[in-house]
Amino acid sequence: MIQFLSELSRSKLFRDLPPEIYLEELTGCPVVPLAQEEILIEPGQTRRHVYLILSGTAPIHLDSRNSAPVRMVGAGEIVGELSIIANSVSSAWVVGHAPSRLLIIDETRLWRMIDRNPLIARNLLSILTGWITSVDAHVIDQRKEIDSLRDSARIDGLTGLYNRRWFDDSLRQLLGRAHNPLVLVLMDIDHFKQYNDAHGHPGGDHALRSLAELLKSMVRLHDVAARYGGEEFALILPDTPMEAACAVAERIRLAVMNLVIRGADGQFLPSITLSLGLAASEPATNPEALIALADAKLYLAKRTGRNRCCA
């Protein structure tokens, strides 16, 4: 084992330990090669020894052998210790990354060294902490990916408001548990086709985004502001009587008239106006009926001159 003294002295397991403490214990431990792409550990295995990497590297995969590694272990590090400490089967993949040499330390020998020297126990705890930190980081990354997917399923990509699917689900749920009045507001940008024709779709997109930001700033946390489709937007106002909802709708209408819209070049674009239709829920109102009623009020606002609220 003396021929591997340089590699062992750099090991995290034997950090701060004089060689005489561990060289005698390791006498008789086999040294084996690990080829590139060779599987060293796979989930479900029962292993009663750890591997100390003398040279080379090996990635650790959690989800599958082909998933991105959560950690790359190299010379001086060990793998397989978690199964021994927890007395459980393996839960990860360890695969050869480049031709490597491994020192195999059996479970009995490892526990004997731990019992004899508390520094080894401390070093092993440090190694386990690093592994747990890597897994935590992996879980956090997965959580971010899940949250991102969830957001993409409910958020409109252009405006950042809720999309039509989320609006439909929210309206159904809110109507199902509403004890107080709920008001639905449908909004449509007046003459938006002409706006797009005059300023191009990029100009129209800037108008849509500007309106969306305004709506976000004017609604309560428990209100639902959504892009209903195209240039049409929707607002669900839970626990709101019609009189209060009309006041909210009117404030939005007036604010939109003064909305500053800038194009990609920073130049000002013309302002826009909104037509709004409002409908209040009844105890037995279903989503389709409420939407139809608000839509009828919206078209009434369009027919009677636009840039107005109808309830």
The string of DSSP codes covering 215-267 is: HHHHS-TTSEEEEEETTEEEEEETT--HHHHHHHHHHHHHHHHT--EE-TTS-
Do 64 and 91 reside in the same domain of the chain?
A: yes
Domain assignment of residue 229, yes or no: yes
pLDDT at 150: 55
**How far apart, in whole angstroms, are the C-alpha atoms of residue 235 and residue 223?**
7
Do 75 and 172 reside in the same domain of the chain?
A: no
Domain assignment of residue 271, yes or no: yes
Highest mean pLDDT among 31-45, 51-65, 134-148, 192-206: 192-206
Structure confidence by residue, pLDDT tens digits, 166-214: 999 999 988 887 567 899 999 999 999 999 999 999 999 999 999 999 9
pLDDT at 238: 92
**How far apart, in whole angstroms, are the C-alpha atoms of residue 179 and residue 279?**
16
Amino acid code (one letter) for 300: L
**How far apart, in whole angstroms, are the C-alpha atoms of residue 306 and residue 195?**
15
Average model confidence (pLDDT) for the chain?
A: 85
Averaged pLDDT for residues 250-273: 92
* Known catalytic membership, residue 231: yes
Domain assignment of residue 237, yes or no: yes
Longest Cα pair distance anywhere in the chain, in angstroms? Answer: 96
| CATH number, domain with residue 293 | 3.30.70.270
Domain assignment of residue 154, yes or no: no
Q: Are 263 and 208 in contact (CB under 8 A)?
A: no
pLDDT at 243: 94
Do 54 and 136 reside in the same domain of the chain?
A: yes
**Percent over 70 (pLDDT), the chain:** 90
**Which of 104, 120, 147 finishes a domain?**
147
Structure confidence by residue, pLDDT tens digits, 52-87: 888 888 888 877 777 777 778 888 888 887 777 777
Do 126 and 178 reside in the same domain of the chain?
A: no
Do 235 and 124 reside in the same domain of the chain?
A: no
Do 11 and 122 reside in the same domain of the chain?
A: yes
| Catalytic position from the list 107, 231, 243, 288 | 231
Do 174 and 306 reside in the same domain of the chain?
A: yes
Tokens standing for residue 55: 């040279």
Containing domain of residue 78, as a range? 2-147
Instruction: Quickly list DSSP for 14-79.
Output: TTT--HHHHHHHHTT--EEEE-TT-EEE-TT----EEEEEEESEEEEESS-TTSPPSEEEETT-EE
Q: How many domains does the chain have?
A: 2
pLDDT at 188: 97
Cα of 168 vs its chain's centroid, Å: 23
Domain assignment of residue 158, yes or no: no
Residue 142 predicted with pLDDT over 60? no
pLDDT at 15: 82
pLDDT at 178: 57
**Which of 92, 118, 147 finishes a domain?**
147
pLDDT at 275: 97
| CATH number, domain with residue 60 | 2.60.120.10
Do 133 and 168 reside in the same domain of the chain?
A: no
Do 112 and 228 reside in the same domain of the chain?
A: no
Structure confidence by residue, pLDDT tens digits, 75-129: 888 888 777 777 777 778 888 888 888 989 888 888 888 888 888 888 777 777 7
Do 190 and 277 reside in the same domain of the chain?
A: yes
> Phi/psi at 23 (nearest 5 deg)?
-60, -45
Structure confidence by residue, pLDDT tens digits, 3-22: 677 778 778 888 888 888 78
Higher pLDDT, 218 or 13: 218
**Percent over 90 (pLDDT), the chain:** 41
pLDDT at 296: 97
Domain assignment of residue 183, yes or no: yes
pLDDT at 149: 47
